[in-house]
């Protein structure tokens, strides 16, 4: 479904909306990330838990599947980027993929949490194949969420605001997924490890995600499509040449998702075994909705600190909160306070990456004359999420396996220590490392007004010709 699929001209665009996005479109734009996180956050937070406690794989097998599948899966990000860069349809360039991928994405995620009557090698192969297919479908749906942003408006502030709406929507999806999936599984299946409960619960979430994606598609409109004509693969790659702000964001974003996934994937183990309360899994996941406060504050923070400075602040708060979790695990009040701080920090950092990646599309066009929004944003968003998530899930599984973790059994002291390290200290270390590339990014951010001014001047000269 690339350029050859639909060569009809794009729908006419209201020139008045090129700078100012209507409020309702910002809201429905947020539905894209809401639906994506409604399902993807179940994978990120519970895939390791589901594979070991429900599906019946060993920790080593589950961790290996998550790593290998994510590495393979991450390679499809640039492919999706090339596809989007070559897409031409009556609906625009990125927008039609919300329509085309809504059903495959919802279906494969449901299939991932549906246990077939298999044993041995066949069971492992099924888990790996469906996990990869769900990931590929997610990339096909999520890559346009970021690649469409520079084509929704040319106004940097409007992009930041629209991206904040998107991130709030994504966090609502995350909240609904991680807070209610286990209670819904228990309600429908009788226990949090019920195979039937998981299939039914994820099926309900998948249907809601499908509807939200279709609504987002129906209300969205793209601008600047005339500046994103089909380009060869080699030209797309050229857009990354010398695009150092993009490189720095890719590194920082991978680091962020390593830390976040290490935290989310080990949360169920920490509260089930270290704290002895599965009820706190839903409670602490639910409290993570405070990330919305960090995301909503982004436009105000950016005005004072800039995007890079706000991201650095987010990383620092997230790392500090994780240290508090490690130090105050025995004090419920301080543990919750530390968790809130960590969530505020991660929410702030996460919200800014996607807006900054959209800005690097402008930098690539300014420096190399190529506007490869699909390729650059695919690597800067979907690739980073998947590569970071794969590493972030594999590292805890490796640590816990080496410490002697055994599913659904009383854990040894070494296994409990490994779980706490993976949940608290490992993310703290990783988040702290994420500050380094953002420090280097600051000088490129200061040059953004010059980049936009020169691009506008070039566009004016082309119109005169």
Q: How many domains does the chain have?
A: 1
Q: What is the pLDDT of residue 4?
A: 38
Contact 311, 352 (CB under 8 A): yes
pLDDT band at 386 (very low <50, low <70, confident <90, very high): confident
Express as a percent the part of the chain with pLDDT over 70.
91
pLDDT higher than threshold 50 for residue 328 = yes
Query: Is the distance from CB of 249 to CB of 441 less than 8 angstroms?
Result: yes
How much is the average pLDDT of 6-10?
A: 40
pLDDT digits (tens, 9 = 90+) for 198-220: 999 999 999 999 999 999 999 99
- Confidence bin at 382 (pLDDT 50/70/90): confident
Average pLDDT of 374-380? 75
Domain that holds residue 146: 31-464
Percentage helix, strand, coil, to 5, in the chain? 80, 0, 20
Q: What would the pLDDT profile of 166-187 be if each residue is shown by its tens digit?
A: 878 887 898 899 889 989 999 9
The token duo for 356 is 């900054």
Location of structure tokens 């709406």? 165
Return the bridge partners of 92, or none: 89
Treating both helix axes as pointing N-terminal to C-terminal, what angle do 96-112 and 23-49 enclose, rounded to 10 degrees?
20
In order of 41, 65, 393, 427, the CA distances from 129 in angstroms are: 19, 9, 17, 28
For residue 406, being part of any structural domain is answered with: yes
Give the distance from CA 143 to its chain's centroid. Answer: 10
Whole-prediction pTM: 0.73
Q: What is the pLDDT of residues 107-129, one digit of tens each?
A: 999 999 999 999 889 999 999 99
Residue 294 pLDDT? 77
For residue 419, pLDDT beyond 70:
yes
DSSP SS3 for 32: helix
Query: What is the per-residue pLDDT for 225?
Result: 56
Q: Is 170 a member of any domain?
A: yes
- Rounded to a whole number, what is the largest CA-CA distance in the chain? 75
Please indicate, yes or no, if residue 4 is contained in any of the structural domains: no
Inside any domain, residue 68:
yes
C-alpha to C-alpha distance for 238 and 4, rounded to whole angstroms: 23
Report residue 229's pLDDT band, with 50, 70 and 90 as the boundaries: low
Q: Is residue 101 part of a domain?
A: yes
pLDDT of residue 59: 87
What's the pLDDT at 11?
A: 45
**Between residues 8 and 89, the one the model is more confident about:** 89
Kindly report, residue by residue over 41-69, the tens digit of the pLDDT. Answer: 899 889 989 998 899 898 888 888 888 88
Note whether residue 424 is domain-resident: yes
Assigned domain for 22 exists: no
User: What's the distance, CA 440 to chain centroid?
Assistant: 23
More confident of the two residues 431 and 174: 431
Q: How much is the mean pLDDT over the chain?
A: 85
> Which token pair is 278?
């599965």
Residue 450 lies in a domain: yes
The enclosing domain of 329 has a CATH number of 1.20.1250.20
């Amino acid at each position: 479904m690339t350029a050859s699929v639909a060569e009809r001209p794009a729908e006419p665009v209201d020139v008045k909306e090129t700078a100012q996005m209507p409020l309702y479109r910002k809201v429905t734009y947020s539905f894209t990330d809401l639906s994506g996180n409604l399902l993807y956050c179940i994978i990120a937070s519970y895939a390791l838990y589901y594979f070991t406690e429900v599906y019946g794989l060993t920790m080593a097998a589950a961790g290996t599947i998550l790593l290998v599948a994510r590495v393979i899966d991450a390679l499809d990000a640039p492919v999706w980027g090339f596809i989007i860069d070559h897409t031409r349809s009556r609906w625009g360039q990125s927008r039609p993929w919300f329509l085309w991928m809504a059903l495959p994405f919802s279906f494969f995620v449901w299939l991932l949490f549906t246990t077939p009557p298999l044993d041995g090698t066949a069971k492992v192969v099924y888990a790996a194949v469906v996990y990869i297919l769900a990931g590929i479908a997610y990339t096909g749906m999520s890559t346009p969420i970021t690649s469409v942003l520079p084509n929704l408006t040319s106004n940097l502030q409007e992009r930041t605001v629209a991206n904040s709406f998107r991130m709030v929507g994504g966090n609502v999806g995350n909240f609904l997924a991680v807070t209610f999936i286990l209670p819904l599984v228990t309600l429908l299946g009788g226990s949090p490890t019920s195979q039937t409960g998981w299939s039914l619960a994820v099926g309900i979430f998948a249907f809601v995600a499908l509807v939200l994606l279709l609504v987002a598609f129906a209300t969205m409109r793209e601008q600047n499509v005339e500046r994103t004509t089909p380009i060869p693969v080699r030209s797309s790659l050229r857009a990354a040449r010398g695009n150092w702000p993009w490189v720095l964001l890719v590194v920082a974003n991978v680091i962020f998702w390593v830390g976040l996934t290490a935290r989310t994937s080990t949360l169920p183990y920490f509260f089930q075994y270290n704290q002895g309360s599965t009820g706190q899994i839903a409670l602490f996941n639910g409290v993570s909705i405070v990330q919305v406060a960090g995301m909503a504050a982004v436009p105000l923070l950016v005005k004072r600190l800039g995007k890079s400075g706000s991201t650095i602040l987010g990383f620092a708060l997230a790392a500090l909160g994780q240290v508090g979790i490690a130090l105050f695990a025995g004090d419920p009040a301080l543990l919750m306070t530390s968790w809130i701080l960590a969530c505020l920090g991660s929410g702030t950092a996460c919200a800014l990456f996607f807006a900054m990646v959209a800005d690097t599309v402008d930098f690539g066009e300014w420096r190399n004359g190529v506007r490869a929004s699909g390729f650059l944003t695919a690597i800067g968003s979907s690739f980073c999420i998947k590569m970071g998530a794969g590493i972030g899930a594999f590292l805890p599984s490796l640590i816990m396996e080496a410490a002697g973790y055994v599913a659904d059994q009383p854990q040894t002291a070494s296994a409990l220590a490994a779980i706490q390290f993976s949940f608290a200290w490992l993310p703290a270390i990783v988040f702290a490392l994420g500050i380094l590339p953002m420090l280097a990014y600051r000088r490129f951010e200061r040059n953004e007004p010059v980049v936009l001014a020169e691009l506008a001047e070039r566009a004016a000269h082309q119109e005169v010709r």
